Amino acid sequence: MEHYTMNLTLKVWRQKNSQEHGHFETFQVKDISSEMSFLEMFDVLNEQLINEGKEPIAFDHDCREGICGACSMYVDGRAHGPWEKNTVCQLHMRAYKDGDTIVVEPWRSAAFPVIKDLMVDRRAFDRIIEAGGFVSVNTGNAPDANAIPVSKVAADEAFDAAACIGCGACVAACPNGSAALFIGAKVSQLAFLPQGDAERASRVRNMVDQAAKEGFGNCGNIYNCEAECPKGISVGNIAKMKREYMRASVTTGPAGIRE
Partner 1 sequence: MTWKQTLTSPVGRKFVMGFTGLFLIAFLIVHAGLNATIFMNDDGATFNAVAGFMSHNWIMRILELGLFIGFAFHIVQGLMLWKMNRAARPVKYSMKRYIPKIKWYSRYMGLLGTLVLLYLVMHLAHFWVHTKDELYFGGSEVNLYERMRDIFTQPLWFVLYMLGLASLLFHLLHGFQSAFQSLGMNDKAWTPLVKKAGVAYSVIIVVLFALMPIAFMAGWLQ
Partner 2 sequence: MVLDSKIPAGDLKDKWQNYKDHCKLVSPANKRNIQIIVIGTGLAGASAAATLGELGYNVKAFCFQDSPRRAHSIAAQGGINAAKNYQNDGDSTFRLYYETLKGGDYRSREANTYRLAEVSGNIIDQATAQGVPFAREYGGTLANRSFGGTQVSRTFYARGQTGQQLLLGAYGALERQVATGKVTMYSRHEMLDLVIIDGKARGIIARNLVTGKLERYFGHAVVLASGGYGNVFFLSTNAMGSNVTASWKSHKKGAFFANPCFTQIHPTCIPVSGDYQSKLTLMSESLRNDGRIWVPKKKDDNRKAKDIPHDERDYYLERRYPAFGNLVPRDVASRAAKERCDAGYGVGSSKMAVYLDFADAIKRYGKMEAHKKVIENPSEETIRELGMQVVKDKYGNLFEMYEKITGENPYEVPMRIYPAVHYTMGGLWVDYELQTTVPGLFAIGECNFSDHGANRLGASALMQGLADGYFVLPYTIGNYLSSEIRTPAIPVTDPAFEEAEKAVAERINKLMNIKGARSVDHFHRELGKIMWDKCGMARNEKGLTEAITEIQQLREEFWKDLRVPGEVESMNPELDKAQRVADFMELAELMCRDALNRRESCGGHFREESQTSEGEALRIDDEFSFVSAWEYKPEGEVLNKEPLIFEVSKPSQRSYK
At its nearest, how many Å lie between partner 1 and the CB of residue 91? 14
Strand order across the beta sheet in which 101-105 lies = 23-33, 5-14, 101-105, 74-75, 78-79
Single residue of 110, 137, 212, 246 touching partner 2 by CB under 8 A: 137
Cβ-based burial of 98 (10 A; exposed 0-12, middle 13-18, buried ≥19): exposed
Asked if 109 touches partner 1 (CB under 8 A), the answer is: yes
Least distance in angstroms from the C-beta of 31 to partner 1 = 25
One-letter identity of residue 110 = A
**What Rg, from alpha-carbon coordinates, does the chain have?**
21
Judged by beta carbon distances under 5 to 8 A according to partner kind, the member of partner 2, partner 1, none in contact with residue 199 is: none
Tell me which of partner 1, partner 2, none is bound by residue 143, counting a contact when its beta carbon lies within the kind-specific cut-off of 5 to 8 angstroms.
Answer: partner 2
139 burial via Cβ count (<10 Å: 0-12, 13-18, 19+): exposed
Q: Per CB under 8 A, which of residues 160..189 are in contact with partner 2?
A: 162-163, 165-166, 189
Residue number with CB closer to partner 1 (61 or 78): 78
Least Å from the CB of residue 138 to partner 1: 27
209 backbone dihedrals φ, ψ, rounded to 5°: -65, -40
Rounded CA-CA distance 204/52 in Å is: 51
Residue 54 CB, shortest distance to partner 1, in Å, is 22
Q: Is 219 in the site for partner 1 (CB under 8 A)?
A: yes
Nearest alpha-carbon partner for 161 in 121, 133, 139 = 133
Site membership for partner 2, residue 55 (CB under 8 A): yes
Q: Specify which residues 131 forms β-bridges with.
A: none
Among 93, 211, 229, 233, binds partner 1 (CB under 8 A): 211
Query: Where do contacts with partner 1 occur on this chain (CB under 8 A)?
Result: 24, 74, 76-78, 103, 105, 108-111, 173, 175-178, 180, 205, 208-209, 211-212, 215-224, 227-228, 235-236, 238-243, 245-246, 248-249, 252-254, 257
